[in-house]
Amino acid sequence: MQSTIIAEQKMPSVEAQGGGTPFLEVRNLEKRFGGVRALKGVSFTIERGRTYHLMGENGCGKSTLIKIISGAQPADGGELAINGKKTEGLTPIGALAAGIETVYQDLSLLPNLSVEENVALTQQLVASNGRLARRLDLKVLRETSIRALKEVGLPTEPAFLSTPVEELPIATRQLIAIARAIASDAGLVIMDEPTTALTRREVDNLIRVVHGLHAKGVSVLFVTHKLDECKAIGGQAIIMRDGLKVAECDVSTQSKSELGFWMTGKKLDETRYRVDAHGDETLLSVEQLGGSGFDNVSFAVAKGEIFGITGLLDSGRNELALSLAGVEPARRGSVLMGGKAADLSSPASAIAAGIGYVPEDRLSEGLFLGKSIRENIVMAVLDRLRGAFGLLDSRRARALAQKTVDDLQVATPDIDNPVTSLSGGNQQRVLIGRWLTIEPSLLILHGPTVGVDVGSKDTIFRIIQRLAGDGMSVIIISDDLPELLQNCDRVMVMRKGRVADVFTAEGLEEDVIYKSMMAEAGQGVQ
């Protein structure tokens, strides 16, 4: 009963699209945390059926803004009007009931629940107004989930519906999160950095789904700092800096450097960072390497060279990286470091062979989140810092950590602060710093700027260039093509577990790499 009433209420608003009241009006929103003013009076309007990008560097207040709109935090001043009606004391369930669905970076999916439940449970929860003592309507659950999954182009057979979400790849999960928004009849879908873990093809698919939402009068607000994707998706940019809205414009009318300027207040280079030439001496030589997901991979990296590797998620690039890091040892072929056979049977032996590996997922694979910055940096060289009685020489450890922090310009007042107190870009620098302490001759960076804002990106790129200039070889594995083109000497494209092409990066067009990634990979995404 309740769900039909909700559906009836929704109908007129969809018909009214185009004219009339905007979906959401944000007026003079303010928020304080202790003495810090996170939002200093932000106003904007979300019309129906359009795309918006909320842009800004980490700490600019965009996350706080999203939390207020989604009812997770109360505002200290200002007001929100949904469908022209002013709302007070918005709660998460209230925001959902009003048609605001927020897809956080972790996608807010429950890993252990099935696809069907993840898609359609929220709708029943909203229908019962958050009260849990209700019978579950399995028929409605199934019908709702099938309807929503069809719209995002996912399968609807029972086997898929009952699969736990944790067993699905990230791109599928992304679409499931969108399907949930459709199932709950959302008027606005907020997506917090939705594309960080997706490849190009998956981003294209996401864009298609977003256009489908617009046709139904649903607006989408992307929260992002990836300039390339904003340009690719198009729409209205709302740019924030330091708790204020500094600009609002159509993304297509602005160049990337103009958008970057609004976000950072600094002029950013779009040009290549890579200027130095490297020597001819070969450091790493991979011959006929094969393992799970890749085979017959051969390439060489010179001393001081920056070598990029890209490909779709299933191209074997991740598996190749893990085998070089000793995490998942290869089964066939050989790897030479400086002409000598390298033992890469475990992470420890890879480190001994001079290979440092900075994983893609900082939070779960790289950093010890409960520990301080200092402890995180010295983690890999504890036995070198042994003092009397085999105990840690804390003076030397502190000195090493401080030097690393200074070298890499990590923004922190104290190296004993927890590593979680840092922004994404600074955490990434701590992680790179840890691997620099082992003084590797080859540093493998997996997605070095995933979840990192524009300003920090710049610093990380400069660090990479300096390291290469000092003679360290660097391998960057990434699906951020501009990042590879700006930094690398050569870019290797992998496809279906094999080496597809190796390009010289200078003067290379993104399109060439993209085509090589996609060639004969099958266009039938859906």
Partner 1 sequence: MANAAATVAGMRDVPAAIRIMRWFIRHPPAVTFLLVVILCIVVGTINPGFWQVSNLFDMARSTVVRGLFALGVLVVLASGGLDVSFTAIAALVMYVITMLVTNYAPDLSIWPILGIAAASGAILGICNGLLVHALQAPSLIVTIGTQYAIRGFLLTFIGTALFMNIPESMDAFGKLALLRYEGANGAVATLPAYFLVLVVAASVTWYILNRTLIGRALYAVGGNAGIASRLGYNLRTVHVFVFAYAGLLAGIAGIMHVSSNRLANPFDLAGSELDVIAAVILGGARITGGSGTVLGTLLGVLLITLVNNVLILVGIPSTLQLAIIGLFILAAGAMFSIRPKS
Q: Tell me the closest approach of the beta carbon of residue 80 to partner 1, in angstroms.
A: 18
Where do we find the tokens 């700490």?
Answer: 59
Task: Tell me the site size for partner 1, rule CB under 8 A.
Answer: 46
Q: Phi and psi at residue 442, in whole multiples of 5°?
A: -135, 125
| Structural tokens at position 255 | 């160049």
Which of 168, 238, 422, 475 is the binder for partner 1 (CB under 8 A)? 168
Asked if 521 interacts with partner 1 (CB under 8 A), we say no
CB of 300 to partner 1, least distance (A): 30
Q: 106-130 burial by CB neighbour count: b if 16+ within 10 A, else e?
A: ebebeeeebbbbbbbbbbbbbbeee
Closest separation in Å from C-beta 221 to partner 1? 17
**Cα separations in angstroms, 204 against 175, 201, 296:** 12, 5, 30
Distance of alpha carbon 295 from alpha carbon 438, whole angstroms: 30
CB of 320 to partner 1, least distance (A): 17
Among the listed residues 25, 117, 193, 360, the single contact to partner 1 using CB under 8 A: 117
Site for partner 1 in 120-159 (CB under 8 A): 121-122, 124-126, 128, 130-136, 138, 153-155, 157
Burial class (CB in 10 A: 0-12, 13-18, 19+), 83: middle
Contact 447, 357 (CB under 8 A): no
Which residues within the stretch 421-460 sit at the binding site for partner 1 (CB under 8 A)? Answer: none
Task: Determine which residue in the list 20, 77, 158, 169 makes contact with partner 1, applying CB under 8 A.
Answer: 169
Here the tokens at position 396 are 């030397």
Residues 480, 485, 56: CA angle, nearest 5 degrees: 50
Phi, psi of 451, rounded to the nearest 5 degrees: 70, 20
| Closest approach of partner 1 to the CB of residue 471, in Å | 39
Taking CB under 8 A as the criterion, which residues in 285-314 touch partner 1? 314
Closer residue to partner 1, CB minimum distance, 103 or 259:
103
Binding to partner 1, residues 55-74 (CB under 8 A): 70, 72
Phi-psi region of 446 (alpha: psi -120 to 50; beta: other; left: phi over 0): beta
Closer to partner 1 by Cβ: residue 127 or 468: 127
List binders of partner 1 among 311-370 (CB under 8 A). 314
Closer residue to partner 1, CB minimum distance, 262 or 294: 294
Distance of CA 510 to the CA centre of its chain: 20
If the CB atoms of residues 138 and 388 are measured against partner 1, the closer one turns out to be: 138
Question: Which of 43, 296, 298, 526 touches partner 1 (CB under 8 A)?
Answer: 526
Binding flag, residue 109, partner 1 (CB under 8 A): yes
Task: Tell me which amino acid residue 306 is.
Answer: I
In b/e form, how buried is each residue of 193-219, taking b as 16+ CB within 10 angstroms?
bbbbbbbbbbbebbbebbeebbeebbb
Least separation in angstroms between CB 364 and partner 1: 10
Q: How would you class 521 by CB atoms within 10 Å of its CB: exposed for 0-12, middle for 13-18, buried for 19 or more? A: middle
Exactly one of 21, 73, 83, 163 binds partner 1 (CB under 8 A); that residue is 163
Q: Are 114 and 162 in contact (CB under 8 A)?
A: yes
User: Nearer to partner 1 by C-beta: 155 or 347?
Assistant: 155
Name which of 413 and 522 has its Cβ closer to partner 1: 522
Residues 6 or more apart whose Cβ sits within 8 Å of residue 286: 297, 298, 299, 300, 324, 333, 334, 335, 336
Nearer to partner 1, 27 or 498 (CB): 498
- Report the residue from 52, 104, 222, 294 that binds partner 1 according to the rule CB under 8 A: 104
Binding to partner 1 by residue 160, rule CB under 8 A? yes
Say how far apart CA 310 and CA 478 lie, in whole Å: 6
Nearer of residues 4 and 257 to partner 1, judged by Cβ: 4
170-209 mask for partner 1 (x: CB under 8 A)?
-xx--x----------------------------------
Q: How far is the CB of 325 from partner 1 (least distance, A)?
A: 20
CB nearer to partner 1: pick between 189 and 385: 189
Q: Indicate the SS3 state at residue 174.
A: helix
Which x/- pattern over 216-255 shows residues binding partner 1 (rule: CB under 8 A)?
----------------------------------------
Q: Which of 8, 167, 383, 470 binds partner 1 (CB under 8 A)?
A: 167
Supply the minimum distance, in Å, between the C-beta of residue 110 and partner 1: 4
Is residue 412 part of the contact set for partner 1 (CB under 8 A)?
A: no
Binding residue for partner 1, selected from 2, 4, 28, 112, defined by CB under 8 A: 112
Stretch that binds partner 1, among 44-52, 168-176, 243-251, 326-334 (CB under 8 A): 168-176
What DSSP string runs through 340-358?
A: EE---SSHHHHHHTTEEEE
CB 442 within 8 A of CB 356: yes
Alpha carbons 505 and 309: distance in angstroms, whole number: 11
Chain residues 71-100 in contact with partner 1, contact rule CB under 8 A: 72, 91-93, 96
Token representation of residue 115: 């696809």
**In sequence order, what are the residues at sequence separation of 6 or more whose Cβ sits closer than 8 angstroms to the Cβ of residue 495?**
311, 312, 315, 516, 517, 519, 520, 521
The residues that touch partner 1, with contacts defined as CB under 8 A, are 70, 72, 91-93, 96, 102, 104, 106, 108-113, 117, 121-122, 124-126, 128, 130-136, 138, 153-155, 157, 160, 163, 166-169, 171-172, 175, 314, 525-526
